[in-house]
Amino acid sequence: MVIGKVVSRVISTRKYDTLQGYKLLVIEPLNGDTKEVFVAADTIGAGEGEIVLVSFGSAVQHALHQQAPIDAIVVGIVDQEPTMPK
Amino acid sequence: MVIGKVVSRVISTRKYDTLQGYKLLVIEPLNGDTKEVFVAADTIGAGEGEIVLVSFGSAVQHALHQQAPIDAIVVGIVDQEPTMPK
Amino acid sequence: MVIGKVVSRVISTRKYDTLQGYKLLVIEPLNGDTKEVFVAADTIGAGEGEIVLVSFGSAVQHALHQQAPIDAIVVGIVDQEPTMPK
Amino acid sequence: MVIGKVVSRVISTRKYDTLQGYKLLVIEPLNGDTKEVFVAADTIGAGEGEIVLVSFGSAVQHALHQQAPIDAIVVGIVDQEPTMPK
Amino acid sequence: MVIGKVVSRVISTRKYDTLQGYKLLVIEPLNGDTKEVFVAADTIGAGEGEIVLVSFGSAVQHALHQQAPIDAIVVGIVDQEPTMPK
């Protein structure tokens, strides 16, 4: 999983039906040197600026009510940014 | 998922039968420093220059009518390029 | 799999129910140039500073009692940091 | 998927039985800055110097007659190198 | 798949039971610029300094007798280091 900060929201009108009902968040990972921004679905209600925990890959389906072409999902909101290596 | 811009189209005459009927798009990710271009299948009708949302991995199969060796698919067309971190 | 050092712990109050009961550890990989910190679930009891072996992706589910949106898990504690290439 | 050029062939005498019958090709991706060479199985008959489309991950199994520990496969031969971003 | 050189062995006394019986090898990829060392399970009997072919992800399970949280496995020993791009 990756810890990241919610940056903004993606609005997409033309999309797969199975993506309806998910917020799609732009997330900046807090994992060191790189800043490879990605998009994750959210059902928890994470807001901009919040620090979240995101899961990727096939594990995502275990967080969905119905299978969908989603490969990243917010699985938790982090209480406090943890200690990171220097 | 990744936000990217459609750059061009890949034409492949000799390919697996299960890839027939998909447009294969060259996509440039809009995710920060790197510019790791990739190819995604498309059934929504994304055109060159459009900003799209792409899913990867096993999640892709949930967007297909029939299982196929496809590991990236356009799942939405983004209305407007979202705010990205500076 | 990746060898890494346990750096700290992530506390998340608002999270998926299926993540309850796992320690969530910030891990710094010991794999060369990059320092792409990630978060892995732990059931073995790895402590801060310990060197651990982490598995990713769909293989993680084979270490869980119940399917969960977890994509990285500590699968072993390494007795001694192995020889790495110079 | 990734577009790449076939560089050479890997010969492995001691390998899993389920890998018998596949050509194993060294492929150089044509995706921008990095040149992370990888190995993909091939059943289409791609030759050295040809430009191919390669799929990765669990999608690969949908191109095999029998499940095998193969994580990358040539799914098409590209007619002409597509336009890439500058 | 990735071609790599076996560097050393990882010893882990406290680990998941389903990892018993596998050698765990530190492998240095031979794929270009980066040197992202990883750990792969081995059942073929690869020794230090040998050049091996490694598969990742869900494909690994097709090389195991029993499902296990293993995400990388040696699938072949390479007879001779293949030609790589300059």
User: Do B85 and A60 lie within an 8 Å CB cutoff?
Assistant: no
pLDDT digits (tens, 9 = 90+) for B28-60: 999 766 678 999 999 999 999 999 999 999 999
What residue type is assigned to position B14 of the chain?
R
B57 versus D84: which is more confidently predicted?
B57
Confidence of residue D32 (pLDDT cuts 50, 70, 90): low
Task: Retrieve residue A31's tokens.
Answer: 């994992």
**How do residues A44-70 score in pLDDT, each as one tens digit?**
999 999 999 999 999 999 999 999 999
8 Å CB contact of B10 and D82 = yes
Chain D nearest CA to E10, separation (Å):
22
**Average pLDDT of every residue of chain C:** 94
Mutate which: E5, E12, E33, vs C, most C CBs within 10 A: E12
Q: Which residues contact D22 (CB under 8 A, 6 or more apart)?
A: D41, D42, D43, D68, D70
Per residue in E16-66, pLDDT tens? 999 999 999 999 999 766 678 999 999 999 999 999 999 999 999 999 999
CB pairs under 8 A between D and E: 102
Check CB contact under 8 Å for D68 and E84: no
Cα–chain center distance at C21: 14
Which residues 54-83 of C have a C-beta within 8 angstroms of E? 55-60, 62-63, 73, 75-80, 82-83
Q: Touching B: which chains, 3+ CB pairs < 8 A?
A: A, D
Residues A24, A12 contacting (CB under 8 angstroms): yes
Closest CA to C9 of A56, A84, A49: A84
Give all domains of chain A, ordered by start, each with its CATH number. 2-77 (2.40.50.220)
Strand-pairing partners, residue E77, are D14, E52
Residue C19, min C-alpha distance to chain E (Å): 18
Chain D residues closer than 8 Å to B67 by CB: 62
Residue D66 has pLDDT above 90, yes or no: yes
Whether D20 and chain E come into contact, CB under 8 Å, resolves to: no
Count CB-CB contacts under 10 A for residue A27.
26
